[in-house]
Structure 1
């Protein structure tokens, strides 16, 4: 399994296609969310993704610099391919993202909008709930904050 982090303009056409295909598979088809995935925030984001030995894209998230979604750096569009959810790649992906944010971007604060069922997962990395529950695309979410 290989992890890559790239800015939007450094993605190949195939990488971009596979990222968008995976986001569509998980967020639009699996979670049955009818929303505008292509929100132009990808242009300024870092894209972290995993490719397995069969060249399949199996996990993805985007890292948004300060001022794009929040005053702090944020992580969004976090997903793992359904067939890849039992192998801890989600945990490795969040650890990789936090490490990149702290070491490469020099930031210590991260804000996210987390699906409610993932609260304990994000708390295990040090994120704390900072909002009441709210609906985003008809899925319960909470805002969470990480401060090293």
Structure 2
């Protein structure tokens, strides 16, 4: 489990952000509920994705949440290598509406990248990104691999970030 204060890692970020990194079996009922509520709000409510958000990969993931003043602010999951792709992959990245456009998405991604380098040293990281977010992920070191494709009616692109080590 990881619990860190954002200001120690990113002194120019907003204050009172805490990250929590855990496996599904180590999340409390209220923590898991907050994650699923945020995922449904963003992916089903806002983006109108019709397929169920929860899947069998959730049990083979690290779940990273960001809380601002104790309120749910951002989330992503890191799927174990060999589960979905040969390398670890980041997915279900979201920032709640109240916390957008302040750099929190970049910060939660950087925390995940750093944890992946620690837990899975020497491995690249794969993402299946919504195509319009390609420039955002490119700034974090991800490069496009393959052609654009549709996933639930939304254009996506696979991207790979080389190992940091």
The answer to whether structure 1 residue 73 and structure 2 residue 82 are counterparts is no
3-state SS of 1:142 partner: strand
Equivalent residues of 2:87, 2:123 under 8 A apart: no
The answer to whether structure 1 residue 133 and structure 2 residue 142 are counterparts is no
Deviation at 1:107, TM superposition (A): 4.0
Q: Which aligned runs of 4 or more in structure 1 are off by greater than 4 angstroms? A: none
Instruction: State how many pairs are aligned.
Output: 147
Which blocks of at least 5 consecutive residues in structure 1 are unaligned? Answer: none
In 2, Cα distance between the equivalents of 1:127 and 1:35?
27
Give the equivalent residue in structure 1 for 2:158: 143
3-state SS of 1:27 partner: helix
Q: Structure 1 length as normaliser, TM-score?
A: 0.96
Question: Of residues 19, 23, 26 in structure 2, which corresponds to 1:7?
Answer: 23
3-state SS of 2:133 partner: helix
Give the equivalent residue in structure 1 for 2:62: 46
CA deviation digits over 1:92-136, x for unaligned, max 9? 001000000001332430111000110000000110000111000
In 2, Cα distance between the equivalents of 1:114 and 1:37?
16
The 5 A counterparts of 1:1-148 are: 1-53=17-69, 55-148=70-163
In 2, Cα distance between the equivalents of 1:107 and 1:86?
32
In 2, Cα distance between the equivalents of 1:105 and 1:72?
9
In 2, Cα distance between the equivalents of 1:107 and 1:140?
30
Give the equivalent residue in structure 1 for 2:13: none
Which blocks of at least 5 consecutive residues in structure 2 are unaligned? Answer: 1-16
Equivalent residues of 1:75, 1:110 under 8 A apart: yes
Q: Structure 2 length as normaliser, TM-score?
A: 0.87
Question: What RMSD, in angstroms, separates the aligned Cα atoms of the two structures?
Answer: 0.9
In 2, Cα distance between the equivalents of 1:107 and 1:21?
34
